[in-house]
């Protein structure tokens, strides 16, 4: 330490603290790759009806178009650091960009469900590699003083990708063709490949790292995370452990996690560096980003569902409401690097969690008459909250570990965010299904045949239908059907309000963990790591 201090004045500090044009091109390439990967998570959501009709898939089968991508992506994310060491960063990213083009074309030309699912699984593997490598590029190519700018770019992409996906996908499907949800990746990947060739230096593969890999951990991670993703995605639809498929996959998940645990003790360099979680500062980041991921993906699911079911919005109209939360990102973006460089991360993250919880609480008084503009303020506050929470977490995850561990740390961080989203969606799906059934039963019990208000409503509705049809039996049947539909609608509204409330409580529960976060101590020179 003393020797490093004595030689520091002789180093050209201004050069050490400024990234070159090639460094920024590399950062731009990593950010573009991450944007493409996060965008493709949700770009098919709005176009699913058209895709299912074209390839002859049912609604249940069509969910595998999204599940296949998520399943392979979440497996690839923690593998990315190891594969980067094996193939070299530029070789690895160039190969993934090329594969992403090929699998995107395969999806766009698909005429069967198996072909589509295979293409989406391939997309997920290639795209999953681009998310943590973007963070690694920022951590290794930028000096400490300029890292807030790079992390801001990455954080905005993680936020805006899932928001822009459904809007872009819906517009392409309605105005051009659903195939362009995949074909649009071709020009983006060509630009990405160009930036990678110019911005990243050539490197050689390290095959010894491949041969000496932690194969026990790799097998465990692959079968464990892929099975867990399917369990979380399909559990509620299959009635959880009433399904033999869910029971079998849960056992496979446990077996995979057991292999990962064994690898921590027998492998010289485990594929998943769980030892990083012994650092309480890094562990607190992982837990918080898990909860924020659940909130981020949960709201991205809840709000369009409510607008579609209750308010009668189509995909494009729902997407426009979702984009409101992206407005603060563009307004704050010019100032965010300075904010990140001057304010304590604990203050920023706590403020973000409080605002995120507040935005959820604003949506607990929903009614059957609620429409898009009723979510305006909650979406604006949510947009600010997501920036304040996620941006410091991105940088805090890197600040809590050494530069040599940044690749493994980035993999765990991004895996935790996506896994939090999957767990959050599974819990939300279960809550919505079971609480809707509960509230429907409670409302029906209160609306008995002896209810004067109920009798008056049925009589009034029946009279209206009788005037149109002249058939009293049919009129009464339609009147009772209307009452049943209204009961279900009210139960749905109550359930969505409760779900927003639970999300808010979960985010508030993470506030004590934010006190453990580490703020980088100023623009310390990091030239030794280059």
- Per-residue pLDDT tens over the stretch 411-451: 788 788 878 887 887 788 788 888 888 888 887 777 665 66
3-state secondary structure of 204: coil
Residues 253, 137 share a domain: no
In a domain, 6, yes or no: no
Cα–Cα distance for residue pair 43/38, rounded to 1 Å: 9
Q: Whole domain around residue 182: which residue ranges?
A: 20-213
In a domain, 13, yes or no: no
Residues 450, 357 share a domain: yes
C-alpha R_g of the chain = 25
In a domain, 39, yes or no: yes
pLDDT score, position 456: 62
Note whether 422 and 74 are within 8 A (CB). Answer: yes
Residues 264, 279 share a domain: no
Cα–Cα distance for residue pair 133/196, rounded to 1 Å: 12
Note whether 184 and 60 are within 8 A (CB). Answer: no
Cα–Cα distance for residue pair 234/232, rounded to 1 Å: 6
Q: Give the burial class of 43: count Cβ atoms within 10 A of its Cβ; 0-12 exposed, 13-18 middle, 19 or more buried.
A: buried
511 pLDDT above the threshold of 90: no
In a domain, 4, yes or no: no
- 502 Cβ neighbours under 8 A, 6+ residues apart: 431
Residues 346, 481 share a domain: yes
pLDDT score, position 321: 83
Residues 191, 218 share a domain: no
Percent of the chain with pLDDT over 90: 6
pLDDT score, position 128: 83
Which of 213, 229, 253 lies at the terminal end of a domain, its last residue? 213
Residues 122, 34 share a domain: yes
pLDDT score, position 452: 62
Max distance between CA atoms of the chain, in angstroms, equals 98
pLDDT in tens, 74-117: 888 888 878 888 888 888 888 888 999 999 999 989 888 888 88
Residues 255, 200 share a domain: no
In a domain, 527, yes or no: no
Cα–Cα distance for residue pair 226/221, rounded to 1 Å: 8
Cα–Cα distance for residue pair 442/440, rounded to 1 Å: 6
Neighbours of 431 (CB within 10 A): 17
List, in sequence order, the alpha helices (H) in 57-110.
59-62, 64-87, 89-108
pLDDT score, position 58: 65
pLDDT score, position 478: 66
Please indicate whether residue 8 or residue 219 has the higher confidence score (pLDDT).
Answer: 219
Q: What is the mean pLDDT of the chain?
A: 79
pLDDT score, position 42: 74
Alpha-carbon distances of 144 from 83, 242, 268, 331, rounded to whole Å: 26, 52, 30, 24
Residues 308, 397 share a domain: yes
pLDDT score, position 529: 31
pLDDT score, position 252: 93
Residues 410, 261 share a domain: no
Per DSSP, the residues of 209-267 read HHHTS-HHHHHHHHHHHHHHHHHHHHTTTTTGGGSHHHHHHHHHHHHHHHHHHHHHHH-
Alpha-carbon distances of 409 from 277, 400, 449, 513, rounded to whole Å: 9, 9, 62, 18
> Of 335, 436, 442, 337, whose CA–CA distance to 392 is shortest?
337
85 token code pair: 């060491």
In a domain, 1, yes or no: no
Task: Give 55's Cβ-side CA count (13 Å radius).
Answer: 26
Please indicate whether residue 298 or residue 183 has the higher confidence score (pLDDT).
Answer: 183
35 token code pair: 């944007």
Cα–Cα distance for residue pair 352/383, rounded to 1 Å: 10
367 pLDDT above the threshold of 60: yes
> Of 123, 125, 92, whose CA–CA distance to 105 is shortest?
123
Q: Give the burial class of 23: count Cβ atoms within 10 A of its Cβ; 0-12 exposed, 13-18 middle, 19 or more buried.
A: buried
Residues 398, 334 share a domain: yes
Cα–Cα distance for residue pair 396/148, rounded to 1 Å: 11
510 pLDDT above the threshold of 50: yes
Q: What's 32's domain CATH number?
A: 1.20.1250.20
> Of 91, 98, 102, 187, whose CA–CA distance to 133 is shortest?
91
Which of 270, 290, 305 lies at the terminal end of a domain, its last residue? 270
Alpha-carbon distances of 18 from 146, 418, 429, 525, rounded to whole Å: 7, 33, 48, 10
pLDDT band at residue 458 using 50, 70 and 90 as cut-offs: low
321 token code pair: 């409401």
Q: Which range has the worst mean pLDDT, 54-63, 246-255, 343-352?
A: 54-63
Note whether 32 and 195 are within 8 A (CB). Answer: yes
pLDDT score, position 526: 32
5 pLDDT above the threshold of 60: no
pLDDT in tens, 489-502: 888 889 989 989 98
pLDDT in tens, 137-175: 877 777 777 777 777 777 777 777 777 777 788 788 778
168 token code pair: 């872009």
Residues 228, 119 share a domain: no
Neighbours of 524 (CB within 10 A): 10
Which of 231, 246, 270 lies at the terminal end of a domain, its last residue? 270
Residues 515, 402 share a domain: yes
Tokens 């973000």 label which residue?
352
In a domain, 398, yes or no: yes
Tokens 């690898």 label which residue?
263
254 pLDDT above the threshold of 90: yes
In a domain, 5, yes or no: no
pLDDT band at residue 465 using 50, 70 and 90 as cut-offs: low
319 φ, ψ to 5°?
Answer: -60, -35
- Sign of the alpha-carbon dihedral angle for 300, 303, 309, 313: negative
Q: Indicate the number of domains in the chain.
A: 3
Exposure b/e, 441-455, CB count within 10 A at least 16 = b: eeeeeebeeeeeeee
400 pLDDT above the threshold of 80: no
């Amino acid at each position: 330490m003393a020797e490093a201090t004595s030689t520091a004045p002789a180093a050209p500090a201004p050069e050490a603290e400024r990234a070159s044009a090639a460094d920024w091109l590399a950062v731009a390439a990593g950010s573009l790759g991450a944007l493409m990967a996060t965008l493709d998570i949700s770009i098919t959501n709005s176009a699913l009806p058209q895709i299912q009709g074209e390839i002859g898939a049912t609604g249940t089968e069509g969910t595998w178009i999204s599940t296949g991508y998520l399943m392979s992506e979440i497996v690839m994310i923690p593998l990315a650091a190891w594969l980067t060491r094996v193939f070299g960063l530029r070789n690895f990213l160039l190969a993934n960009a090329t594969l992403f083009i090929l699998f995107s074309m395969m999806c766009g030309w698909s005429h069967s469900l198996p072909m589509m699912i295979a293409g989406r699984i391939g997309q997920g593997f290639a795209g999953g590699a681009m998310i943590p490598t973007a963070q690694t590029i920022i951590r290794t190519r930028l000096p400490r003083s300029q890292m807030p700018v790079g992390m801001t770019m990455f954080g905005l992409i993680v936020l805006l990708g899932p928001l822009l996906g459904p809007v872009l996908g819906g517009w392409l499907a309605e105005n051009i063709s659903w195939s362009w949800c995949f074909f649009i990746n071709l020009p983006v990947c060509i630009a990405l490949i160009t930036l990678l060739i110019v911005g990243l230096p050539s490197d050689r593969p390290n095959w010894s790292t491949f041969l000496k890999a932690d194969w026990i951990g790799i097998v465990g991670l692959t079968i464990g995370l892929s099975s867990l993703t399917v369990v979380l995605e399909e559990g509620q639809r299959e009635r959880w452990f009433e399904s033999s498929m869910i029971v079998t996959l849960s056992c496979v998940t446990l077996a995979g996690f057991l292999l990962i645990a064994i690898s921590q003790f027998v492998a010289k360099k485990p594929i998943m560096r769980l030892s990083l979680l012994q650092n309480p500062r890094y562990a607190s980041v992982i837990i918080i980003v898990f909860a924020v991921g659940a909130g981020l993906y949960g709201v991205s699911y809840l709000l369009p569902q409510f607008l579609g079911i209750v308010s009668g919005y189509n995909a494009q109209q729902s997407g426009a409401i979702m984009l409101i939360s992206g407005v603060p990102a563009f307004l704050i973006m010019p100032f965010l690097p300075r904010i990140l460089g001057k304010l304590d991360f604990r203050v920023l993250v706590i403020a973000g969690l409080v605002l995120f919880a507040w935005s959820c609480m604003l949506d607990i008084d929903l009614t059957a008459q609620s429409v898009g503009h009723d979510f305006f303020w909650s979406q604006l506050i949510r947009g600010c909250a997501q920036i304040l929470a996620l941006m410091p977490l991105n940088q805090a995850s890197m600040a809590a570990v050494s530069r040599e561990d940044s690749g493994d740390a980035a993999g765990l961080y991004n895996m935790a965010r996506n896994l939090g989203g999957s767990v959050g969606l599974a819990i939300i799906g279960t809550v919505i299904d079971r609480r809707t059934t509960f509230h429907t039963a409670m409302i029906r019990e209160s609306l008995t045949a002896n209810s004067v208000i109920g009798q008056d409503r049925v009589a009034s509705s029946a009279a209206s239908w009788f005037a149109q049809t002249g058939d009293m039996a049919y009129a009464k049947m339609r009147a009772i059907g209307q009452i049943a539909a209204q009961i279900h609608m009210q139960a749905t509204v109550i359930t969505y309000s409760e779900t927003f409330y639970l999300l808010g409580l979960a985010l508030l529960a993470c506030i004590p963990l934010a006190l453990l976060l580490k703020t980088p101590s100023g623009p310390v020179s990091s030239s030794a790591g280059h």
